[in-house]
């Protein structure tokens, strides 16, 4: 099974992605984690991506496509993927689509984690205190939420139109969210 997990910053993509991948035996591919690894390792990609990440902007499409797509294709040929944080725009989805089609790596289902704005901000600020992510400061968070609204949210209609979308009420504790996702996927708990 190939699953996309989309949602605003703070919706719980990382937490749910990890749990679901483990529960379903899928490769967990997290776009933000891959980028942060490149930044930590100070690769050419990491050096280019850092300024975008620190501002809360999306890194250029070519950068993220090169990083994510080979892993997606490899995972789809194996046990399937749980992809979180990609795509983050309709153009990214369109770019990925023809390659994924050719490689038999298209998503089977798209989960949208729905959380109200004030709860997102609360979660991100709590995470900032715990993890010290460089992009969890107030100015960058505002920009990330604005980019979500403008650039990422149109994916909801894009995937609804293709009949792949499942909206998950993610304004609940993590166990309840995992449970709702598993039942949406028709997986016995
Ligand atoms: P995340 O960990 O998913 O919140 O991602 C952290 C940051 O990585 C984002 O704010 C972007 O700067 C960058 N990023 C993650 N995924 C993408 C993507 N699909 N396209 C462009 N930039 C991304």
Kindly list the averaged pLDDT for each block of 10 residues, start to end, along the chain of length 189: 97 96 97 97 97 96 97 97 98 95 96 96 88 85 95 98 98 97 91
Domain-embedded: residue 52: yes
Domain-embedded: residue 160: yes
Ligand 1 pocket test, pick from 59, 84, 87, 153 with the greatest ligand atom count within 8 Å of Cβ, gives 59
From the candidates 133, 153, 160, 172, which is the catalytic residue?
A: 133
In the prediction, which pLDDT does 18 show? Answer: 96
In the prediction, which pLDDT does 130 show? Answer: 87
The structural domain count of the chain equals 1
What's the CATH number where 82 sits?
3.40.50.300
Compute the distance from residue 32 Cα to the ligand 1 centre, in Å. Answer: 5
Domain-embedded: residue 173: yes
Nearest to 181 by CA among 82, 90, 96, 86: 82
88 is catalytic: yes
Compute the distance from residue 35 Cα to the ligand 1 centre, in Å. Answer: 7
Exposure class string for 20-31: b at 16+ Cβ within 10 A, else e:
bbeebebbbbbb
The backbone torsions φ and ψ at residue 24, rounded to the nearest 5 degrees and listed phi first, read -100, -5
Domain-embedded: residue 189: no
The CA distance from 109 to 4, in Å, is 6
Nearest to 86 by CA among 70, 166, 43, 163: 70
Domain-embedded: residue 49: yes
In the prediction, which pLDDT does 175 show? Answer: 97
In the prediction, which pLDDT does 51 show? Answer: 96
- The parent domain of residue 107 ranges over 2-184
127 is catalytic: yes
117 is catalytic: no
End-to-end CA distance of the chain: 17
The CA distance from 70 to 72, in Å, is 5
Domain-embedded: residue 121: yes
Domain-embedded: residue 6: yes
Is 84 in a helix, a strand, or coil?
strand
In the prediction, which pLDDT does 136 show? Answer: 84
């Amino acid at each position: 099974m190939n699953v996309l997990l989309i949602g605003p910053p703070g919706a719980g993509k990382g937490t749910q992605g990890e749990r679901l991948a483990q529960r379903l035996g899928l490769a967990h591919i997290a776009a933000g984690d891959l980028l942060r690894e490149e930044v930590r390792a100070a690769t050419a990609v990491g050096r280019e991506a850092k300024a975008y990440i620190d501002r809360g902007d999306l890194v250029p499409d070519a950068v993220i496509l090169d990083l994510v797509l080979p892993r997606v294709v490899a995972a789809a040929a194996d046990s399937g993927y749980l992809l979180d944080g990609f795509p983050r725009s309709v153009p990214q989805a369109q770019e990925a689509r023809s390659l994924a089609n050719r490689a038999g790596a298209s998503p089977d289902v798209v989960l949208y984690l729905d959380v109200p704005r004030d709860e997102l901000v609360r979660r991100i600020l709590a995470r900032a205190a715990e993890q010290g992510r460089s992009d969890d400061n107030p100015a960058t968070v505002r920009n990330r939420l604005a980019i979500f609204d403008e650039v990422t949210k149109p994916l909801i209609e894009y995937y609804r139109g293709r009949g792949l979308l499942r909206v998950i009420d993610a304004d609940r504790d993590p166990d309840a969210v995992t449970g709702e996702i598993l039942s949406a996927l028709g997986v016995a708990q």
